Amino acid sequence: MNSETKMPGLKALDISDTFMLREYLGKWPREHCDYTITNLIVWGKIYHNHYLIHKERLVVLNPKYQYILFPVGPYLSPKELKDLVLMFRPYYPEAQIILYPHDYCEQYPEVHEIFEIFEDRDWADYVYSVESMVQLRGKKLAKKKNLISQFRRAHPEYKVLKMTEDRMKYILKFTHKWRRERSAEGIYLMTEIKAIENTLEAWRNLPVEGIIICLRNKIVAYSIFSPQGPDMVTVHFEKFDPDKKGSAQVITWETARYLENRYTWINREQDIGLEGLRQAKLSYVPDRFSRFYGSRLKGDTVGRPMPEN
C-alpha cells in the first residue's frame, strides 16, 4: 500500500472533482496558474495530485515532489500552517508548503518566525494586460506588430476558429507534428505534450476554451486557455508552425483579441528557468509577475528544491 492510500482523508484528485474546485476557487480565486481548474486536473493527472479538506480549506498535494499547495479558503495562521505540514510528515517526510499568496506575509509577519520563505524566479507567472497584448504599442513591441502585419498581408484568407470537440483529433495531430519537426524532446516537453493530451481528452468537463488559426484548411497555430479569476485568464498552451513567419505572433495577438471584452489580465504562466522561453515571455513586456513563494520549516533538514527541467 502506498503513502497516498494511508493518509486519512486524502483522496486522488480527478475530473469528477471539477465542481468542488469551482466552488472553492470561485470563492477564493488565486492568481498563480497552478490554481486553475485546468492545471489542477490535467497536470494533476500526470503528478497524481491528491487533496483533502482541512478546517474547511481545500489542500492539494503533489505527492511526487511532496508539495502542499497553500490552502484555498480563508487564510490559516502560521501556526496552523505548521500543524498542517506536520500532519503530512508521517506520510510525506519532505512535505513543504508552496505558493504563498503575495499578501500573506504582510498580513502574518510572524510567519517568518516559523517558516523560511523563499522566492523562486523560475516559477513566477508572467501577467500582461489584455489591452497591451492587443494594441502592441511602443518600440519594444514594434517588431511583433510588424510580423503580424506581414502574416496578414501574406495570408489575408486566414481564419480564426473556435476550438471544438470535433477538431480535437486535428489539434492532437498538429501537436505531434510540431514535436517531430522540431526534434523536440526533454522531460518537460514530453510532459507538456501529455498535459495537452489530457486537456483534449477531458475537454467537455473542463472550463477551457481555445482558438485555431487556420490557413487553407490547415492548422498553423492554436492556443488553449481557461479562467484564472473574474478578471484574469490563463493561457496554458500555444503551438504554431515555425515555417509560417509570424504565426507565433498572430496566435498570441488573436488570443488577446478573442479575450479582450471578457478579461483585464492574461497570465501566460512561467518560464521554468528555460532561457529561450524567458526571453520570449519578457519580449512582450509583462505588466507584473505573480511571484512564487515556497517555504521550509525553520530548522528543517528536509524539503526539496523546485524540480529541474
Please tell me the predicted confidence (pLDDT) of residue 190: 84
User: Where do the domains of the chain lie?
Assistant: 3-124+291-297, 125-290
Out of 4-8, 48-52, 121-125, which region has the weakest mean confidence (pLDDT)? 4-8
Domains 3-124+291-297 and 125-290 share a fold: yes
Q: pLDDT by residue (tens digit) across 16-61? A: 999 999 999 999 999 999 999 999 999 999 999 999 999 999 999 9
Q: Return the sign of the alpha-carbon dihedral for residues 263, 264, 268, 269.
A: negative
Q: pLDDT: is 299 or 101 the higher one?
A: 101
Q: pLDDT by residue (tens digit) across 196-217? A: 999 999 999 999 999 999 999 9
Q: Which helix H or strand E contains 4, and what residues bound it?
A: helix 3-6
Identify whether the C-beta of residue 89 lies closer than 8 Å to the C-beta of residue 255. Answer: no
Identify whether the C-beta of residue 258 lies closer than 8 Å to the C-beta of residue 225. Answer: no
Order of all β-strands in the sheet with 288-290: 159-162, 209-215, 218-229, 232-240, 265-267, 125-129, 288-290
pLDDT above 70 covers a percentage of the chain that reads 94
| Mean pLDDT of the region 274-293 | 96
Asked if CATH classification 3.40.630.30 holds for the domain at 3-124+291-297, the reply, yes or no, is yes
The whole-chain average pLDDT of the chain stands at 93
Identify whether the C-beta of residue 238 lies closer than 8 Å to the C-beta of residue 126. Answer: no
C-alpha cell at 278: 524567458
| Mean pLDDT of the region 163-179 | 91
C-alpha cell at 256: 488577446
Q: pLDDT by residue (tens digit) across 225-235? A: 999 999 999 99
Q: What is the pTM (predicted TM-score) of this model?
A: 0.93
Q: Could you tell me the CATH superfamily of domain 125-290?
A: Gcn5-related N-acetyltransferase (GNAT) (3.40.630.30)
Residue 193 has pLDDT above 80, yes or no: yes
Order of all β-strands in the sheet with 67-69: 11-12, 50-54, 57-62, 67-69, 96-98, 293-297, 115-119
